[in-house]
A = this chain, B = another copy of it.
Amino acid sequence: MINVTVWNEGRHEKASREIREVYPEGIHGAIASIFKDCEGINVRIATLDDPECGLPDDVLYTTDVLIWWGHMHHHEVPDELVEKIHGRVLAGMGFIALHSAHASKPFMKLMGTSCTLRWRDDDRERLWTVAPRHPIAKGIPQYFELPNEEMYGEYFDIPKPDDLIFVGWFKGGEVFRSGCTFTRGYGKVFYFQPGHEQYPIYYNETVRRILYNAVLWARPDGQYPPLSCPNTEPLEK
Contact = CB atoms under 8 A, between A and B. Distances in A.
Interface of A: 86, 90, 103, 109-114, 116-120, 123, 126, 128-133, 138-139, 142-143, 153-157, 159-160, 162-164, 167-175, 177, 182-188, 221-222, 224-225, 227-236
Contact of A154 (B120, B167, B171, B173): B167
Contacts of A142: 154-155, 225
Contacts of A133: 183, 186-188
A225 B232 CA distance: 37
Given A111-B112, A167-B154, A232 B119 contact: yes
A176 to B, nearest CB: 9
Contacts of A183: 131, 133, 159-160
A185 B114 contact: yes
A228 to B, nearest CB: 6
B117 A229 contact: yes
A6 B173 CA distance: 33
B162 A229 contact: no
